[in-house]
Amino acid sequence: FMKRRKKWSHYPPGPVSLPFIGTMLYVDFCNPHLSFNQLQKKFGNIFSLQNCWTNVVVLNGYKTVKEALVHRSEDFADRPYIPMYEHVGYGNKSEGIVIARYGHVWKELRKFTLSTLRNFGMGKKSLEDRVTEEAGFLCSAVSSEKGHPFDLRFLVNNAVCNVICTTIYGERFDYGDDTFKKLLHLFENSLNEEAGFLPQLLNVVPILLRIPGVPQKVFRGQKAFMDFIDVLINKHMETWNPAYIRDFSDAFLKEMEKGKMAEESGFNYNNLRLVTADLFAAGSETTSTTLRWAVLYMLLHPEIQSKVQAEIDKVIGRERSPTMKDQVSMPYTSAVIHEVQRYGDVAPIGLPHMTYRDTELQGFFIPKGTTIIINLSSVLKDETVWEKPNEFYPEHFLDANGQFVKPEAFLPFSAGRRACLGEQLAKLELFIFFTTLLQKFTFVLPEDQPRPREDGNFALMSSPHPYLVQAVPR
């Protein structure tokens, strides 16, 4: 007992906790990373909070985050249990991947997902072809706006979601398709529902979720999104032929057939729903939001846009489609894309982690079961690492000779065991979509429009405030 008490005396400092609500009033849940930056100044890189009775520790800055996620990878590899997803089937035997507890089932599902996506071309040529083809559809849709001001958001969302849809369900949708529009709308609603104070409260006081009708009312969009996924999966099962694997869902169904061992490794029907919903959720909005930041920065920095276009013209020309092989010969474009990810900072607080065992970090004691927030924003904008952390400055990724370099603090995909599973796919999409768009169009700010805001709008992710753009054919 004395030993443990001594350990607790090294628990990270934090603001004074109030009865029942703990320190929840210190955090603006609509902009948590900004609150964390303030608290970091007061309490240092490792500080503690209390969401009602849940212990939370926030990690800030490159050095601290690297030490936790890379050097003590397993200690920080767990995820907290999130009761608000129970009503869509998340629970004991099925947790998907993104919020699955660390252990055998998560490991098996992650391994299976990575290798299956790779076999369908993740990082290989066939998926690259798919993305290239979709970039063509995207350019046609942008062309049909005929140089008039428009919001790029819907088209980019459609393009990115189509890449995920073909990989998981073997199906792409036309941009005007009503069902697809509905899906994107539902998905957006469900993201908005999960941000803010109320969902946080429901997670830490899950008994409130037992009040009849509460989850259905608060998370209506989430439920509707899952219903939609169910329709896609059921349609798939009707046409499934085990001899012929068309896509990710088929590969999962085949795995489910393997019996008890597979069942124990998490290959059950409910996990098929949750894993595919995870890939959809984690893989679409992140990438499309990054692309929207990319175009916004090109509007705000036309000289940078011209330099990217000059490099595209030199290396690829105006006709041939860009390929991933071009990337090595395009240091400036690569630097711009990386800077978009750094400065755009789309996942400022990543996803919550949880300590898997008692651990120690820079002399602080962090007990097993503590919720850990990784303030990725504080890494991507760490003043001790980046020359101009709060400016859009592609030179962060160029050496004195104009060659591409990647500082270690570039961690938009996080690091360690729970690092983003879709990093390769995301990089492929960002490069191909961005270069294809700038090869075909110059993006300008419509004359009557105000200068777009550079600060993000936070709803689990940080995305640009809506803006209009004109795409002038080149």
Binding ligand HEM by CB under 6 A: which of 132, 162, 290, 463?
290
Contacts with ligand HEM in 23-62 (CB under 6 A)?
A: none
459 forms beta bridges with: 461
Our CB check for ligand HEM shows the closer of 22 and 96 to be 96
Our CB check for ligand HEM shows the closer of 21 and 385 to be 385
Binding ligand HEM by CB under 6 A: which of 138, 156, 279, 340?
279
Binding ligand HEM by CB under 6 A: which of 105, 294, 426, 437?
426
Q: Is 98 in the site for ligand HEM (CB under 6 A)?
A: yes
Our CB check for ligand HEM shows the closer of 432 and 445 to be 432
458 forms beta bridges with: 462
Question: Number of residues in contact with ligand HEM, rule: CB under 6 A?
Answer: 27
Q: Is 191 in the site for ligand HEM (CB under 6 A)?
A: no
Min separation Cβ 347 and ligand HEM, Å: 4
Backbone conformation region of residue 26, classed left if phi is above 0, alpha if psi is from -120 to 50, else beta: alpha
Q: Is 110 in the site for ligand HEM (CB under 6 A)?
A: yes
Contacts with ligand HEM in 366-425 (CB under 6 A)?
A: 374, 376, 412-414, 418-422, 425
Min separation Cβ 415 and ligand HEM, Å: 7
Binding ligand HEM by CB under 6 A: which of 97, 142, 274, 336?
97
Min separation Cβ 338 and ligand HEM, Å: 11
Q: Is 282 in the site for ligand HEM (CB under 6 A)?
A: yes
Min separation Cβ 101 and ligand HEM, Å: 10
Min separation Cβ 320 and ligand HEM, Å: 25
Min separation Cβ 83 and ligand HEM, Å: 18
Our CB check for ligand HEM shows the closer of 218 and 421 to be 421
Our CB check for ligand HEM shows the closer of 296 and 445 to be 296
Binding ligand HEM by CB under 6 A: which of 286, 355, 370, 435?
286
Q: Is 294 in the site for ligand HEM (CB under 6 A)?
A: no
- Contact region for ligand HEM (CB under 6 A) — 50-58, 84-92, 276-284, 306-314? 276-284
Our CB check for ligand HEM shows the closer of 413 and 458 to be 413
Our CB check for ligand HEM shows the closer of 359 and 470 to be 359
Min separation Cβ 413 and ligand HEM, Å: 5
**Which residue is nearest to ligand HEM, using beta carbons?**
422
Our CB check for ligand HEM shows the closer of 169 and 413 to be 413
Contacts with ligand HEM in 329-358 (CB under 6 A)?
A: 346-347, 350-351, 353
Our CB check for ligand HEM shows the closer of 40 and 113 to be 113
Our CB check for ligand HEM shows the closer of 414 and 436 to be 414
Q: How far is residue 465 from each of residues 41, 154, 284, 380, 452, measured CA to CA in Å?
A: 28, 14, 18, 20, 8
55 forms beta bridges with: 50
Cβ neighbors of 415 (< 8 A, separation 6 or more) are 65, 66, 69, 70
Residue by residue, what is the 3-state secondary structure of the chain?
CHHHHHHHCCCCCCCCCECCCECHHHCCCCCHHHHHHHHHHHHCCEEEEEECCEEEEEECCHHHHHHHHHHCCHHHCECCCCHHHHHHCCCCCCCCCCCCCCCHHHHHHHHHHHHHHHHCCCCCHHHHHHHHHHHHHHHHHHHCCCCCCECCHHHHHHHHHHHHHHHHHCCCCCCCCHHHHHHHHHHHHHHHHHCCHHHHHHHHCHHHHHCCCHHHHHCHHHHHHHHHHHHHHHHHHHCCCCCCCCCHHHHHHHHHCCCHHHHHCCCCHHHHHHHHHHHHHHHCHHHHHHHHHHHHHHHHCHHHHHHHHHHHHHHCCCCCCCCHHHHHHCHHHHHHHHHHHHHHCCCCCCCCEECCCCEEECCEEECCCCEEEECHHHHHCCCCCCCCCCCCCHHHHECCCCCECCCCCCCCCCCCCCCCCCHHHHHHHHHHHHHHHHHHEEEECCCCCCCCCCCEEEECEEEECCCCEEEEEC
Chain residues binding ligand HEM by CB under 6 A are 97-98, 110, 278-279, 282-283, 286-287, 290, 346-347, 350-351, 353, 374, 376, 412-414, 418-422, 425-426
